[in-house]
Amino acid sequence: MVKVLILGPRAPAALELARRFDRAGWSVHVADSVSCRLSAWSRSVARAHRLPPPRSQAGEFVAALTRIVAAEGIDLIVPTCEEVFFLSRYRSALPDRVRVLVDDFETLRALHSKRHFLELARDCGANVPDSAIVTRIDEARAWAAGGPLVLKPEYSRFGVHVRLYPRGMPADAAPLGLAQDWVAQRYYHGTELCSYSVADRGRLLAHSVYRPSYRLRRSSSFYFEPSPNAAIRGFVERFVAKIGFTGQISFDWIVGDDGLTTVLECNPRATSGVHLFADDDALPAALMGDAMECIEPGLHKPKMLAGVMVSAGLLQAMAQGNLRTWWRDYRRAYDVLAVPGDRRPPLGGLVDIGSYAAIALRQGCNLREAATRDIEWDGEPLPEL
């Protein structure tokens, strides 16, 4: 039996992939450095493994992966979260026979940078916003010259620390923080879209686009509305061919009222677009590099994190007076965590949250930081092994 090792099973995207591989007849293993019962408690997972945190124990992380690959006979490693950067950096230390779904480290570095990605994105068929590197708030103000502006750290995730100034920067804007450069970017009005794709040596093998209809503040979405877009697909096809990309790659977009499609940033990893594929879509073949043509979701129903939709989503709807819309959206979407025959993952997710809360208390950080800081990478040099 062919075996896959999915990393980052703390994430719903990893659970989705585990179910897809299991349905295709693979034996599914998962591995993570924090609590990952969200995926580990799924009927689709044969075994869960614990890893050292790659950010602080890179050598031990790679050694543990090597042992798992050898002991379990793993054929394919699929990362889903930011462990992708560590996996790419130390790919050469892993056995050659195993397929590791990552591109080379310098390519991932450029894609993760909100500065260098925009340079790569030019001439691929989408609008690329004007941008500049700034280190002080007065530099950003001078560059914007009173115009609408977005400020974001060069390396960041989930919209954390992003500042939006659609009417221009106010006089009392706070100084820039963090020990890294910031990107000043022209602000565009329009509809937000997100895309998720799989490529192999520059060939686009899987692709989906969704609208993040409900968000946790300005951060992660928990409701995924299918929104096919020919211009976005065309850009992704040209972009992955231009850089010869292999792996999972995701983009954030703004589509203006005039139809102008603007690419904002890139995440070279899995995102929520993976939820849109139907059970019988050949996503495992695409991830293995065996698909003969590009697949797009065969199901056009919205997906959601139902537990978040009935908590944070409901509170948002009540505050905004949109209960009728919320109820309509809730009724027409499918949950991505609890599915027929596999109802335990949401309970595992609650256990995970409890574990992250304990980490947050010990380390004096918030819940999101506790759930991701062991795998975050902000462009700093990674050591030799």
13-23: per-residue pLDDT in tens?
A: 999 999 999 99
| CB-based contact 27:94 (threshold 8 Å) | no
Arithmetic mean of pLDDT, 179-192: 91
Count up the domains in the chain and report the number: 3
- Judge if 4 and 51 occupy the same domain: yes
Task: Output DSSP code: residue 115.
Answer: T
Could you give the count of Cα atoms lying within 13 Å of 134 in the half-sphere of its Cβ?
21
Percentage with pLDDT > 90 across the chain? 88
Is residue 4's pLDDT more than 90?
Answer: yes
Does one domain contain both 135 and 226?
A: no
| Rounded distance between C-alpha atoms, residue 270 and residue 281, angstroms | 17
Residue 331 lies in a domain: no
**Domain containing residue 45: CATH number:** 3.40.50.20
pLDDT per residue as tens digits for the range 198-227: 999 999 999 999 999 999 877 789 999 999
pLDDT at 343 over 90: yes
Same domain, 173 and 209: no
305 pLDDT more than 90 = yes
Output the domain CATH number for residue 201. 3.30.470.20
Where does a domain end: 283, 307, 331?
307
Same domain, 272 and 205: yes
163 and 212 together in one domain: no
Structural domain includes residue 362 = yes
Q: Is residue 312 part of a domain?
A: no
What's the whole-number mean pLDDT along residues 145-150?
A: 92
Return the structure tokens found at 186. Answer: 């022209």
Mark whether 199 and 182 lie in a shared domain. no
Task: Give the CA radius of gyration of the chain.
Answer: 20
**pTM > 0.85: yes or no:** yes
- Whole-number pLDDT of residue 180: 81
**Same domain, residue pair 196 and 300:** yes
Segments forming the whole domain that contains residue 72: 1-102+344-385
**Residue 164 and residue 199 in one domain:** no
Residues 15, 50 within the same domain: yes
Q: What DSSP character marks residue 337?
A: S
Nearest to 155 by CA among 7, 266, 272, 252: 266
Inside any domain, residue 322: no
Centre a 10 Å sphere on the Cβ of residue 32 and count the other Cβ atoms it contains.
28
pLDDT on residue 329? 97
* DSSP labels, 170-192: -TTPPPP-SSS-EEEEE---SEE
